[in-house]
Structure 1
Amino acid sequence: MMEDLPLDANNPAVRDYLALIRLQVLTPLSLLVNITAVLVCSLSISPGIQDIEKMFPSSISPKPLLIASYLLLVYVGQVGYCILLVTARKPETKKTITKGVGIALVLANWIMGFWAVAWVMQWFLVSTVLLGILLLILLYCNVVILIYHRPELKKRPLDVAFIHAPLRFFLVLPLQVMFPYSLFVELGYTWEPGKPNQYANHQWAGFGVLLLVNLIGLTVIVVRKDIVWCVAAVWIDIAIWSAKPKPSPIFIAAITFTAVHPIALIFAAVWKKLRGTDEGQIRLPPDDNSRVDGPPPHRQQQGHSTRPPREVDTEALWG
């Protein structure tokens, strides 16, 4: 069919244009599928997504209301991304959309929709596999746009707000809570509802997972001074420690990282500012006194001697 079009399909500009057109159609459609599947599985089906979480409490179970508000923010960011798909005019923005994000966000939204169905059907192995695939897709997408399409906030604020921020928020959700929790349910690292005396079961496994994902986030926050990741990580930590009951190691770790993430971000920003100030200092040239004190070292090594200035005999010079 491409051969029948009055366009040169081998032209890179034409290919980029067609890729943008495809994304303008597929991305809103995939977002609609994602939102619809999650809403239907949350509100119209019993047991719903939140009911399943109550049926299988674990040491890292989050508070559903905070996760729902977090996901709502991800959806709002994606709506802004869909608007940017249509209104983008800068070549750099279009390149980020087509070459950086590409079809990855479309696949992520579809997988999220399939996950909602698998979760309410209590297919926990399928749920865990889908969340693992979702995590890999979002991780790849974020790495690509951070390495090859990193924008400057002052020049392209909309790219940061509607491309980088929603994708980073979307990545932190399965990384920090959804995938580990689904894996715990599949492995049986839960306790029976109504028996809070069992809430310490598998607490050290939960502590290890919580520590690992937060250390990963802390590294990103410090190295990149990433305020988006900081907000997302703190949000998830609050969702975890606010869900009661919680084993002491989990509660203490979540509370600690809730405070550590913003402190580390501030420290990293201040350190970068101080280093920039030191590196930006201007070295003044040596003053006249240092020049009169003696000849340069290389002239001394070559055997040149310094002579005081002498008066020139103008009559002898001009005859």
Structure 2
Amino acid sequence: MDSLPIDMSHPAVRDYLKLVRLQVLTPLSLLINIATVMVCTLALNPSIRTIAKMYPTSISPRPSVISVYVAAMYLGQIGYCILLVIARKPETKRTLTKGVGLSLVLANWVMALWAVAWIFEWFLAATIFQGLLLILLLYTNITLLTYHAPTTSRPLDMALIHAPLRFFFVLQFALMFPLTLFVQLGLTYTPVFDGAPDYQSHPWPGFGVVLGTNLVSLVVIALRRDVVWCAASTWICVSMWTLPYKPQVVYITVLVFTTLHPLALIASYIHAYFRSRRSVEANGAVALPGNEHPGLNTNRPSTDSQLRGPREVDPEAVWGN
């Protein structure tokens, strides 16, 4: 047999092979990501949490709150892997293969490499990994929103594709990349394991990062009515102010945005509701064809002559020759 009886250049065959490739590589990359982070958190010393305590910053979160966030993100990715196998709709398959593709696979590998670099205190490498991770997830989310926008007609796509990718991106954008960069730049304060540290060191860089990232999040939430982004940003804000010993400007800022994000989402939905009501009232009631009773419309023609309308009378046809 010289060749397979399949046209490998056919677009449908190529899309099928892409999907099969993702069905293998995505769960594998997720498993490596979870295993690496778990080992670096629970089995090794120093662990990820220990390094975070050794280099506290003005935006450091409470580890337990972020752990729950990461666990929710991993659960979403597990659902994504299941959807890779059970997907039947062509639109869903296109979103998986062309909207996400190998970006999530690479992101999981980079996340695992970051965990290794972090516990070995290779902070420059860790910052580079976080930058790559941020770029990968930003590209993936822009592609999804631009070419494969979420729709209520495919709720599984929204829950298992868009939501996990959005959760992953917001974590890197609002917390992990700035935190790693702060440690690399030395914007930390001396840790004190018993008592209060000098947490007033470097307050303004932390304030700038918290204010900037949350303003971007607020705009996205208000304009797109993005529930996932709202939940993720609020969660990260909570993780920051629940850890004590923060500069006052950072503490107040995250407290304010913890309230503003849900309020912006609610206000956006209310505005959209009233705008749709005004649009309906301006356009008037829409009559559906076929619903009216024949006797209710007295202006409608009922005979063929009325349908034809007035016409010229031929006198010869009436009176004869």
Q: Give me the TM-score of the superposition, normalised by structure 2.
A: 0.86
- The equivalent residue for 1:224 is 224
How many Å separate the matches in 1 of 2:284 and 2:238? 52
- The equivalent residue for 2:5 is 6
Cα deviation per residue 1:17-39 (whole Å; 9 max; x = unaligned)? 00000000000000000000000
Among 170, 181, 188, the residue aligned to 1:172: 170
1:161 aligns with 2:159: yes
Shift of the alpha carbon at 1:274? Answer: 0.7
* Letter matched to residue 189 of structure 2: W
Asked if the contact 2:58–2:206 (Cα under 8 Å) also holds between the matched residues in 1, the reply is yes
1:203 aligns with 2:207: no
Q: How do 1:1-319 residues align onto structure 2 when only pairs under 5 Å count?
A: 4-153=3-152, 155-194=153-192, 196-283=196-283
Asked if the contact 2:191–2:197 (Cα under 8 Å) also holds between the matched residues in 1, the reply is no
How many Å separate the matches in 2 of 1:283 and 1:7? 55
How many Å separate the matches in 2 of 1:83 and 1:126? 33
* Letter matched to residue 57 of structure 1: P
* Letter matched to residue 214 of structure 2: N
Residues 1:184 and 1:91: Cα distance change in structure 2 (over 3 Å): same
Shift of the alpha carbon at 1:4? Answer: 3.9
How many Å separate the matches in 1 of 2:203 and 2:282? 55
Query: Partner of 2:72: helix, strand, or coil?
Result: helix
Asked if the contact 2:190–2:197 (Cα under 8 Å) also holds between the matched residues in 1, the reply is no
Cα deviation per residue 1:140-180 (whole Å; 9 max; x = unaligned)? 00111111111322x11110110000000000111111100
Asked if the contact 2:189–2:197 (Cα under 8 Å) also holds between the matched residues in 1, the reply is no
Query: Partner of 1:119: helix, strand, or coil?
Result: helix
- The equivalent residue for 1:291 is none
Cα deviation per residue 1:116-139 (whole Å; 9 max; x = unaligned)? 000000000100110010001001
Shift of the alpha carbon at 1:6? Answer: 2.9
How many Å separate the matches in 2 of 1:105 and 1:134? 10
How many Å separate the matches in 2 of 1:284 and 1:229? 36
Query: Partner of 1:243: helix, strand, or coil?
Result: coil
Asked if the contact 2:211–2:253 (Cα under 8 Å) also holds between the matched residues in 1, the reply is yes
* Letter matched to residue 122 of structure 2: W
- The equivalent residue for 2:313 is none
- The equivalent residue for 2:302 is none
How many Å separate the matches in 2 of 1:282 and 1:245? 55
For these two proteins, the number of residue pairs brought into alignment is: 282
Asked if the contact 2:230–2:265 (Cα under 8 Å) also holds between the matched residues in 1, the reply is yes
Query: Partner of 1:281: helix, strand, or coil?
Result: helix
Residues 1:216 and 1:282: Cα distance change in structure 2 (over 3 Å): closer
Residues 1:168 and 1:283: Cα distance change in structure 2 (over 3 Å): closer
Identity of aligned residues (%): 53
How many Å separate the matches in 1 of 2:63 and 2:147? 36
- The equivalent residue for 2:303 is none
Residues 1:210 and 1:10: Cα distance change in structure 2 (over 3 Å): same
Q: Could you tell me which runs of 5 or more consecutive residues in structure 1 were left unpaired when the two chains were aligned.
A: 286-319
* Letter matched to residue 240 of structure 2: I
Residues 1:258 and 1:284: Cα distance change in structure 2 (over 3 Å): closer
Cα deviation per residue 1:261-286 (whole Å; 9 max; x = unaligned)? 0000111111011111111125569x
Q: Give me the TM-score of the superposition, normalised by structure 1.
A: 0.86
How many Å separate the matches in 1 of 2:50 and 2:219? 34
- The equivalent residue for 1:303 is none
Asked if the contact 2:150–2:162 (Cα under 8 Å) also holds between the matched residues in 1, the reply is no
Q: Could you tell me which runs of 5 or more consecutive residues in structure 2 were left unpaired when the two chains were aligned.
A: 286-321
Large movers: runs of 4+ above 6 Å: none
